[in-house]
Amino acid sequence: MGCCFSSDEDKDVGVQSANERTPLIPPPGDISQPSHGGRVGPNYTTPNGKKDDGQSEFTRIIRQTAINVIDVTSPESQNIEQGEMQDRATQYSNRLNMALSGKSRVYRPNLPLGVTSPQMTLSAAPVSMSDVQLITSVSEKLTSAAKEIKIQHKENLVVNFGGS
Amino acid sequence: MTEELKAYLNKLMGTVEGLHAIAVTDRDGVVIVKVAGQMAPDTALRPPFLSVFGVMTEQAGKMGMGTNKRIINFYDRYQTIQVNYHPLLLHFIADTNANTGLILELENELEDVLKDISKVVGMM
């Protein structure tokens, strides 16, 4: 009376004793009871294979975390003994000799970046003397102009903040 | 052939004024090849110094900004430019006033050398 649908029955209520205090998720003690949809409640026991998967995943996360930790005091480098270092240096030297002896390669510096055809650059006509003189005179003028820049002091450099 | 390689490194070293030494090491700072002038500080060419960069570059790569490639240090008298060229480390030791950009540019000149030396480390 006076309220829409006040006379209708609430057909959505699935549990007879359900009220506003009925938990949506059944308490842990009730997990063995099947719910209304015919589904079995949360199953906390997993097969052995799954358990192992979880364990290995956990180990993996721990290992990954250890790798990600920034540790500048890592003693990895100090683990190598002086003798081992010498041995390794000798081995490197021998192997380097072996690797390089089979080559007839001569190391040469690479061309500067952006130069794909050096013959074009080298065969181009040299810059004319007038251009060189122009560049020299302009740069000298610019240098003298830069030296003559003076600051004309007009206002106080330090002013009171908020002052009129 | 190693002598030719060292001659080439010496030649490159001579192209940058103030560059005193070039060293190529493995991740643990074990020297594979190095050339050094008379002015090069001896301590900077020993494994305890060279190995530190291996650890530092690895740790610096965990800052969330990608792999660390180079670390440049300036000291009172010297500067060190260290390059992470996996699996090698490349070290330049130079005067503090030397042109850092020119030294960094040497990495390109050394690319063929580093590729050849990488194979040596890969064999181990």
The residue that leads in pLDDT, A91 or A35, is A91
* Among B12, B36, B55, B47, CA closest to B93: B36
Total domains present in chain B: 1
CATH number for the domain harbouring residue B10: 3.30.450.30
In this predicted model, what pLDDT tens digit does every residue of B80-94 receive, in sequence order? 999 999 999 999 999
B117 interface with A at CB cutoff 8 Å:
yes
Residue A120: pLDDT over 90: no
> Within 13 Å and on the Cβ side, how many CA atoms surround B99?
9
Say if the ipTM goes beyond 0.90: no
B29 interface with A at CB cutoff 8 Å:
yes
CA–CA gap between residue A10 and residue B29 (Å, rounded): 78
CA–CA gap between residue A93 and residue B123 (Å, rounded): 12
Mean predicted lDDT score pLDDT of chain A: 74
Rounded to a whole number of angstroms, the distance from the CA of B29 to the nearest CA of chain A is 8
**Residue numbers in A near B113 (CB within 8 A):** 107
| Domain with B66 in it | 1-123
Stated pTM of the model = 0.63
Q: Are B116 and B105 in contact (CB under 8 A)?
A: no
* Among B100, B105, B91, B96, CA closest to B21: B91
- Rounded to 5 degrees, φ, ψ at B79 are -130, 145
Partner residue opposite B55 with nearest CB, options A76, A99, A110: A76
Q: Are B54 and B28 in contact (CB under 8 A)?
A: yes
Q: What is the pLDDT of residue A14?
A: 47
Q: What is the pLDDT of residue A109?
A: 74
Residue A6: pLDDT over 60: no
Q: Are B10 and B33 in contact (CB under 8 A)?
A: no
Residue A49: pLDDT over 60: yes
CA–CA gap between residue B89 and residue B26 (Å, rounded): 6
In this predicted model, what pLDDT tens digit does every residue of A63-99 receive, in sequence order? 998 888 887 775 555 567 888 888 988 999 888 888 8
In this predicted model, what pLDDT tens digit does every residue of A57-68 receive, in sequence order? 999 999 998 888
Residue A28: pLDDT over 60: no
Model confidence at A37, in pLDDT bands (50, 70, 90)?
A: very low
The residue that leads in pLDDT, A129 or A156, is A129
**Residue numbers in A near B64 (CB within 8 A):** none
The residue that leads in pLDDT, A73 or A137, is A137
CA–CA gap between residue B15 and residue B37 (Å, rounded): 13
In this predicted model, what pLDDT tens digit does every residue of B26-79 receive, in sequence order? 998 999 999 999 999 999 998 889 989 998 998 999 988 999 999 999 999 999
Q: What is the pLDDT of residue B30?
A: 92
